[in-house]
């Protein structure tokens, strides 16, 4: 039993080192630019097939990294959703989108890599579905999105989709930009992750409450068609 326990602990420690190393390398260089061999070597594994042995394909490794972080984010969001229950204020539900991720990053130490890793994955067409599948399987996120839609102004369906895309881009890339600035020890507009999340919530609420212009063409378009 003791031997089995030691082996299990060693295997878990190896998996953790591989996950942490892969996340850092993917964040810095992009997923497709980093090979399993490079990850194994950087993780201090003498066997260059260690990544495949422990995780399978690179897609499986990416999914494991996402799940490793999403467990804590889900727990934090569930708490926020419970506190926001019954609210008709869109700000409360936008906060449920942003703050759990920011809090997770704040408590993950310094530097962190997950925000930049997420940005790399979201810009890769072959890997983006993994992020969608993993995040949209979150009960708290689905509840948040439903409640947010309920509280929003009456907007055309296509505008809702468009602003949903804008919201996702803002969250993914603004968190990644702050994480990059912190890693490079450069000045950031906000003093901490909580303050940065509040500023992001302000911007997204403003985005959703902005007027919608429909049925109008620009003068440039009119002139070019003439």
Q: What pLDDT is stored for residue 106 in this prediction? A: 97
Q: What is the mean pLDDT of each run of 10 residues along the chain (226 residues)?
A: 65 90 96 94 84 91 96 97 97 98 96 97 94 91 96 93 96 97 94 97 97 66 49
Q: What pLDDT is stored for residue 220 in this prediction? A: 47
Computed over its alpha carbons, how large is the radius of gyration of the chain? 21
Q: What pLDDT is stored for residue 50 in this prediction? A: 87
Q: What is the enclosing helix (H) or strand (E) of 212?
A: none
**Start-to-end C-alpha separation, the chain:** 82
Decide: 81 and 144 in contact? Cβ < 8 Å: yes
Helix 157-183 to helix 90-106 angle (10° resolution) is 30
Going from the C-alpha of 117 to that of each of 27, 69, 87, 114, 126, the distances in angstroms are: 4, 11, 33, 5, 15
Q: What pLDDT is stored for residue 108 in this prediction? A: 95
Q: What angle do CA 23, 173, 131 make, to 5 degrees?
A: 55
Q: What pLDDT is stored for residue 49 in this prediction? A: 84
pTM of the model: 0.88
Q: Taking Cα atoms as reference points, which of 108, 99, 125 lies closest to residue 179? A: 108
Q: What pLDDT is stored for residue 4 in this prediction? A: 63
What distance in Å separates the CA atoms of residue 97 and residue 95, rounded to the nearest whole number? 5
């Amino acid at each position: 039993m003791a031997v089995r326990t030691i082996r299990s602990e060693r295997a878990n420690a190896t998996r953790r080192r591989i996950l942490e190393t892969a996340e850092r390398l993917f964040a810095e260089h992009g997923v497709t630019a980093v090979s399993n061999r490079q990850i194994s070597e950087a993780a201090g594994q003498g066997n260059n097939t260690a990544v495949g042995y422990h995780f399978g394909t690179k897609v499986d490794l990416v999914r494991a990294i996402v799940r490793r972080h999403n467990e804590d984010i889900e727990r934090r969001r569930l708490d926020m959703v419970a506190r926001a229950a019954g609210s008709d204020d869109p700000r409360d539900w936008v906060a449920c989108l942003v703050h759990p991720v920011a809090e997770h990053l704040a408590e993950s130490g310094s530097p962190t890599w997950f925000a930049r890793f997420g940005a790399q994955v979201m810009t890769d067409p072959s890997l983006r579905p993994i992020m969608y599948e993993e995040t949209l399987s979150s009960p708290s996120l689905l509840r948040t999105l439903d409640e947010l839609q309920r509280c929003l102004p009456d907007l055309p369906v296509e505008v809702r989709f468009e602003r949903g895309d804008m919201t996702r881009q803002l969250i993914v890339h603004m968190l990644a930009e702050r994480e990059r600035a912190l890693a490079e020890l450069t000045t950031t507009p906000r003093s901490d992750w909580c303050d940065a999340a509040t500023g992001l919530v302000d911007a997204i609420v403003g985005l959703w409450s902005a007027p919608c212009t429909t049925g109008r063409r620009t003068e440039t378009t009119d002139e070019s068609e003439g």
